[in-house]
Amino acid sequence: MKLRILYHGNCFDGVSSAAIFTKFYQAKIAPGAEVAYTPTMHRAGNAFDRGQFDGDDNAIVDFKYCPDERLTWWFDHHQSAFLTPEDEAHFRADTSGKKFLDTKSASCAEFIARVAKDKFGFEDESLAELIHWAHIIDGAFYESPAQCVELRSPALKLMQVIEGEKDPEFVAEIIRMLTAKTLDAVVASDPIQTRLAPILEQHWKTAEIIKERARSERGVVSFDLVGTGIEGYNKFIPYYYHPEVTYVVSLSQSSYRTKISVGSNPWAPRPRTHNIAEICERYGGGGHAVVGAVSLAPDELDLGRKYTQEIIEELRFEE
């Protein structure tokens, strides 16, 4: 029996969701099943590679719905969970009892754990710490920007490794470790420690570049990372240096997309007044009310800059 799990790539909640679903599936559905993992990323058009559904069972966790008949299990908590109204209608018509959406859940990891307990009688206390940190990280329930930028907790160190790791096989090994070890033990392991030092060094280099490039005006801090080689960053760095803002908008470029990232400051002196998911959806992206993104083709940099400026103007306060 083979289970293929497609999870939100380079995301602590996505990785945690894959680990939790693995333990549930092997305990309640198919003990001894072989499990394979595939990271899924937001791209221009957001199309799925249907060839990835190669398991006897196929699951998507912490990512958009796909109406492929080979999709057996689905869990998501994003407001922008469907690419089209037809996809949503397909989900609403499903009677399998294996596809779930809760846009009010702070993390997909805790959502999977709740459904597994309430509907299937599965609960594993060894996962409690992982669920706790997925809730904090994906829900942005930090004490301060310093907590998530200075990365003193083992869970936050692991988050930084997951967000920066480009080898999907290594992330698959992290998922397997999380099904068998505590967070502290995973972070203390040689494979993680080997990667951690250069990742933390790059983290602070990235923070310095953002500090240099960031411009704050009327409640919005913005910066352009194109040409820096930076494809992703700790999303709380802008608030670490600019605690006065309510929103952040940034532009970056990688080999597979031009990305506009939009976020809101949980500690903002002026409260958020916009639904970020709704703004991003207008440009073909999505997310949550408090954070979202737009993915364009790699060569659509001019269009990305145009959209970025429009979003900045929409988010800025009058004074």
CATH number at residue 176: 3.90.1640
Q: Are residues 9 and 90 in the same domain?
A: yes
Which two three-digit tokens encode residue 271? 């409260």
pTM reported for the whole predicted model: 0.84
Q: Are residues 156 and 44 in the same domain?
A: yes
Q: Would you place residue 45 in the very low, low, confident or very high pLDDT band (cuts 50, 70, 90)?
A: low
Helix ranges (H only) for the chain are: 12-24, 85-92, 108-120, 128-139, 145-150, 154-164, 168-178, 183-188, 190-213, 237-241, 276-281, 301-315
CATH number at residue 230: 3.10.310.30
Q: Are residues 242 and 173 in the same domain?
A: no
pLDDT surpassing 80 at residue 256: yes
Q: Is residue 32 part of a domain?
A: yes
User: What digits encode the pLDDT tens for the residues 173-193?
Assistant: 999 999 999 999 999 999 999
User: What digits encode the pLDDT tens for the residues 210-227?
Assistant: 999 999 999 999 999 999
Indicate the helix (H) or strand (E) that contains 4.
strand 2-8
Q: Is residue 272 part of a domain?
A: yes
Q: Are residues 89 and 166 in the same domain?
A: yes
Q: Are residues 222 and 133 in the same domain?
A: no
Q: Is residue 245 part of a domain?
A: yes
Q: Is residue 208 part of a domain?
A: no
What residues make up the domain containing 19?
2-188
Which two three-digit tokens encode residue 194? 């080997």
Q: Is residue 296 part of a domain?
A: yes
Q: Is residue 27 part of a domain?
A: yes
Q: Is residue 264 part of a domain?
A: yes
- Considering the chain, what is the average pLDDT of its residues? 95
Q: Would you place residue 35 in the very low, low, confident or very high pLDDT band (cuts 50, 70, 90)?
A: very high
Q: Are residues 220 and 184 in the same domain?
A: no
Q: Are residues 29 and 165 in the same domain?
A: yes
> Tell me, what's the pLDDT at 50?
72
> Tell me, what's the pLDDT at 48?
66
Q: Are residues 113 and 15 in the same domain?
A: yes
Residue of 307, 316, 202 lying closest to 259 (CA atoms): 307
Q: Are residues 45 and 164 in the same domain?
A: yes
Q: Are residues 158 and 49 in the same domain?
A: yes
Q: Is residue 196 part of a domain?
A: no
Provide the number of structural domains found in the chain.
Answer: 2
